[in-house]
A and B are shown apart, each in its own frame.
Chain A
Amino acid sequence: MSARAKPPPVVFWSAMVLIVAVLIVLPFALTQIGTTWVRVTNLALLYVMLALGLNIVVGFAGLLDLGYIAFYGIGAYTYALLASPHFGLHLPFWVILPIGAAMASLFGVLLGAPTLKLRGDYLAIVTLGFGEIIRIFLNNLARPINITNGPQGIIGIDPFRIDGFSFASYQKIFGLEFSGPTKYYYLIVALVAVIIALNLRLQNSRIGRAWEAIREDETAARAMGINTTNLKLLAYAMGASFGGLAGGVFAAIQEFISPESFVLVESIMVVSMVVLGGMGNVWGVVLGAVLLSFVPDILRFTVQPVQQWMFGRMLIEPEVIRMLLFGLALVLVMLFRPAGLLPSAVRKRELAERAE
Chain B
Amino acid sequence: MSLLEVEGLEVHYGGIRAVKGVDLVVDEGELVCLIGANGAGKTSTLKAICGLLPSHSGSVRYSGQEISKKPVYELPRRGLVLVPEGRGVFPQLTVAENLAMGAYARRDGDVARDLERMHGLFPRLAERRSQTAGTLSGGEQQMLAIGRALMSRPRLLLLDEPSMGLAPLMVAKILEIVREIARQGVTILLVEQNAKLALEIAGRGYVMESGVLALAADSKSLLADPRVRQAYLGEGAA
Contacts and interface: CB of A to CB of B under 8 A. Distances in A.
A212 B105 contact: no
B96 A2 contact: yes
A237 interface: no
A213 B101 CA distance: 8
Residue from A216, A220, A222, A347 with most neighbouring chain B CB atoms (10 Å): A220
A224 B52 contact: no
Interface in B105-158: 105, 130, 132, 134-135, 145, 148-149, 152
Given A219-B84, A349-B92, A353-B132, A224 B152 contact: yes
A223 to B, nearest CB: 5
A307 interface: no
Contacts of B90: 212-213, 216-217, 220
B132 A224 contact: no
A224 B96 contact: no
Interface stretch (B74-82, B168-176, B196-204): B74-82
**Range for the number of chain A residues in contact with chain B:** 20 to 34
B72 A222 contact: yes
Contact of B105 (A1, A209, A217, A224): A224
A116 to B, nearest CB: 13
A191 interface: no
A228 B84 contact: no
B135 to A, nearest CB: 6
A32 B71 CA distance: 61
A323 interface: no
Interface string A73-114: 000000000000000000000000000000000000000000
B105 A216 contact: no
A342 interface: no
Given A216-B92, A219-B52, A346-B92, A225 B71 contact: no
A210 interface: yes
Mostly, the A contact residues are helix
A260 interface: no
B148 A224 contact: yes
Nearest to B81: A223
A234 B226 CA distance: 56
A341 to B, nearest CB: 19
Interface string B58-84: 000000000000011111110001111
A226 interface: yes
A350 B104 contact: no
A223 B76 contact: yes
Contacts of A217: 88-91
A227 interface: yes
Contacts of B76: 223-225
Interface in A212-256: 212-213, 216-217, 219-220, 222-229
Nearest to B88: A220
Nearest to A218: B88
Contacts of B94: 2, 349
B209 interface: no
Contacts of A210: 104
Interface in B211-238: none
Given A220-B84, A220-B88, A228-B73, A213 B132 contact: no
Contacts of A213: 90, 93, 101, 104
Contacts of B145: 220
B34 interface: no
Interface string A1-41: 11000000000000000000000000000000000000000
B204 to A, nearest CB: 24
B164 interface: no
Given A216-B90, A216-B91, A227 B130 contact: no
B93 A225 contact: no
Contact of A226 (B52, B73, B89, B100): B73
A210 B105 CA distance: 11
B93 A346 contact: yes
Interface string A186-225: 0000000000000000000010011011001101101111
A349 B52 contact: no
Contacts of B149: 223
B104 A223 contact: no
A350 B84 contact: no
B84 A225 contact: no
Contact of A225 (B77, B96, B130, B132): B77
B28 interface: no
A24 B73 CA distance: 47
A219 B97 contact: no
A70 B149 CA distance: 40
Given A2-B97, A216-B90, A226 B104 contact: yes
A222 B77 CA distance: 12
B101 A224 contact: yes
A166 B134 CA distance: 56
A220 B81 contact: no
Contacts of A346: 92-93
Residue from B74, B102, B104, B134 with most neighbouring chain A CB atoms (10 Å): B104
A223 B72 contact: yes
B140 to A, nearest CB: 15
A63 B76 CA distance: 25
Contacts of B92: 216, 346-347, 349-350
6 contacts: A2-B94, A223-B88, A224-B101, A225-B152, A349-B132, A353-B135
